Structure 1
Amino acid sequence: MRITAKCLATTSLVLVTTAFALPSWAADVDATSAIDTVTVYPDGATVTRIITVDLPSGDSTLVAKDFPLGLDTSSIRVEGEGGAKLTIGTIDARTPRAAPVNLPELDKRIEALNDQRADLQGAIDSANARRKFAEHFAEASPAGIGDKGEARPIAEWRTAFAAVGEEIASADTAVRDATRKMREIDRQIAQLEVERKAKPPSKLEVRMDIAAPAAAKATLRVTYNVRNARWLPLYDARLDTGAKDRKPQLELVRRAEITQSTGEDWSNITLGVSTVRVSRGGSAPELGSLVAQYPQPPKPMALGAASDLARPAPTVRQRSAQFEPMSKLAEAPEPRERADEQQAVAEIGDFQATFKIPGRVSLGAAEGAKAHRFDERARRPRGARSARNGLDCLPRSQLQADR
């Protein structure tokens, strides 16, 4: 007996210990994210979304269902901070599974429901006809005169009144019941029509396992790469060939033309462009050349040449303009301030250059290209000179001036 008791006590202790050692299931916490920062590359972009959520104590799974389908799932990174020490665990991205749609089966069910609805409508029409007939009988039949003009007994009046009332009540009940059934059938048909026209999911679901020792408010930053975005360099080159009182000068304005078709709108974001090519990795870039030429100015003609004789005589308006009072010519124009164009801020690193666009901008999906200015530089051309961007990691442009 003692041995049996010891065994039972040991078994109970093991069961209790196992019960306390079982892990608790993580609760799903729905969250929404908003795009905060985007860095565009020549062959892609890096997007950072912000998630602000109230986390419960213990393990929880954060579920965000507003990520684009075209993101690179292997590039997802999560970081953040909160009111308590957070531990970020597994990150999983999955496409929401849409239930397979069997169109022939749905069509059969919709057809059967429409047949039931037609039967109910027939029952309603029949009940309304019975009610109308009962009402017409009550109005048209003589109330107190028999076939030979004698008065009918009171009992027959009551029987007639009861028969008319029962018929009208029965018709009303049939109409109400059929109407309720038709309403339910209409709901089922509408639901089936929605299933029939259901579109495949357009967003990606991202799940993040997070552990918090206590309930806290957390801010998470989720970063990922997308492919359907790019920027191209644009150059505005203005060449002044110079004169006696000024030297030749080349003015070069650099811009970035940005386009994206990632399936999500970039609204009110911090935007930047980088010279890094994601697909190229660490391989050296291929440098190209751009050649810009300008036409030679016409040579001055000799005095008294035949072309001078062929020129038309000045008109009366031109002659009068030559003798305008000097007071009008001496009038100074009203001073006007030149508008400045917003310019990006350059952050130069060892292997890349990143240009941050000031403020916040918006760029919709498949909206078209938007150009932003980098900087403006003035150089003095000397024969055939290479006008470089000033950064080893930027593309080069070869400008050739024939003198």
Structure 2
Amino acid sequence: MTSKIISLNASQHALKAVTIFHSSTAQLTRTFTVDLKGGSNVLEIAGISSQVDKESPRIYGLGTDARVFDVSCNTKLGNAPHQNNTKNAALIKKLEAKRKLLHAERDVRQTEFDLLDDAARALAQEKGTSFDSLMDTFVARKRNAMATVIEMDEQIEEVDRELWLLNNSHKGETAAVVTATLLAKRDCKVEFQLTYLVTGVTWQPYYDLHATTSEGKPSSDVSLHYCANITQSTGEDWTNTILTLSTANSHALHSLTVPKVDPLRL
């Protein structure tokens, strides 16, 4: 019996929730919806952080029409494309081309600005040239050239900012692949959750105390806010994700494995 191969990319499916532990580890939960055929289905989920714990991937919520036969995780994919390098590649290439054009235009306008002084001196020496008319033209051209140079500098700065955000928004590699074999009773559509642990995540608490008013006077009410600084370098995008901070240690989750059943002999 042949198996249906289903290729998925984690970045294209919702990251539902993240629980961050004090042990520099986080549990990620992603939601997937797939069409299964009756029988064996092999899911290959790429784009998983290379810092994943290989023993941690679990699949939940399949319902009654399908069940999990096997789950494995491969983090040693030497030829796998790094999502960190390919993500937003087309947009980055477009912005870099725009940056080159802006620099070229700026150089042209800067050269024009510099040459106007020499041109003005040469024209001033010609007989019959109206000095007032020359100065009006000279000043207008200089202002126009300088305004263009300033505008180019502002646009280049904005492009540099966009490039920095694209290149630094997803630190780390996402070259791991989770492979799961699902057995379906019949052709069906299922939604399930994939959970896994990743390292490269930290959170530190801090407190924000408000004891004065906006005018600097003592306040009758004191408010204490409990906040956190979160840092992650998993390579995965956590935008608009529900975050839960836990003071527990993720090591407890490692013990949540299928117990080994030893044979009994009579």
Are 1:234 and 2:209 an aligned pair? no
Residue by residue over 1:333-378, the C-alpha shift from the partner in whole angstroms, topping out at 9 and shown as x without a partner, is xxxxxxxxxxxxxxxxxxxxxxxxxxxxxxxxxxxxxxxxxxxxxx
d(CA) in 2 for partners of 1:98 and 1:268? Answer: 31
Are 1:32 and 2:9 an aligned pair? yes
Pick from 165, 181, 184: which aligns with 1:212?
A: 184
Instruction: Note the C-alpha offset of 1:45.
Output: 1.0
Q: Does 1 or 2 have the higher relative contact order (CA < 8 Å, sep 6+)? A: 2
- SS of the equivalent of 1:59 reads strand
Instruction: Note the C-alpha offset of 1:31.
Output: 2.4
The residue correspondences of 1:166-181 to structure 2 (distance < 5 A) are none
Are 1:251 and 2:223 an aligned pair? yes
Q: Which amino acid aligns with 2:54?
A: T
Instruction: Note the C-alpha offset of 1:32.
Output: 3.2
8 Å contact 2:41–2:183 — kept in the other structure? yes
8 Å contact 1:235–1:255 — kept in the other structure? yes
Pick from 267, 272, 278: which aligns with 2:244?
A: 272
Distance 1:54 1:204, change over 3 A: same
Are 1:78 and 2:50 an aligned pair? no
- SS of the equivalent of 1:262 reads coil
Match of 2:37 in 1: 56
Residue by residue over 1:201-242, the C-alpha shift from the partner in whole angstroms, topping out at 9 and shown as x without a partner, is 8411111110111100011211011111121111123457xx
Could you tell me which runs of 5 or more consecutive residues in structure 1 were left unpaired when the two chains were aligned: 1-23, 100-200, 241-245, 283-403
Match of 2:68 in 1: 88
d(CA) in 1 for partners of 2:237 and 2:204? Answer: 20
Distance 1:75 1:232, change over 3 A: same
Instruction: Note the C-alpha offset of 1:270.
Output: 1.7
Residue by residue over 1:158-201, the C-alpha shift from the partner in whole angstroms, topping out at 9 and shown as x without a partner, is xxxxxxxxxxxxxxxxxxxxxxxxxxxxxxxxxxxxxxxxxxx8
d(CA) in 2 for partners of 1:90 and 1:205? Answer: 14
Distance 1:55 1:206, change over 3 A: same
Distance 1:258 1:29, change over 3 A: same
Q: Which amino acid aligns with 1:41?
A: F
Q: Percent identity?
A: 28
Instruction: Note the C-alpha offset of 1:257.
Output: 1.5
d(CA) in 2 for partners of 1:247 and 1:97? Answer: 59
d(CA) in 2 for partners of 1:255 and 1:45? Answer: 18
8 Å contact 1:78–1:220 — kept in the other structure? yes
8 Å contact 2:65–2:188 — kept in the other structure? no
The number of equivalent residue pairs is: 151
Could you tell me which runs of 5 or more consecutive residues in structure 2 were left unpaired when the two chains were aligned: 80-172, 213-217, 254-266
Q: Which amino acid aligns with 2:16?
A: D
8 Å contact 1:32–1:51 — kept in the other structure? no
- SS of the equivalent of 1:72 reads coil
Instruction: Note the C-alpha offset of 1:247.
Output: 10
Instruction: Note the C-alpha offset of 1:268.
Output: 2.3
Instruction: Return the index of the structure with the highest Cα Rg.
Output: 1
Match of 1:221 in 2: 193
User: Over aligned residues, Cα RMSD in angstroms?
Assistant: 2.6
8 Å contact 1:229–1:260 — kept in the other structure? yes
Distance 1:263 1:94, change over 3 A: same
Instruction: Note the C-alpha offset of 1:267.
Output: 2.2
Residue by residue over 1:48-91, the C-alpha shift from the partner in whole angstroms, topping out at 9 and shown as x without a partner, is 11111101111111111121111111111111235x52111110
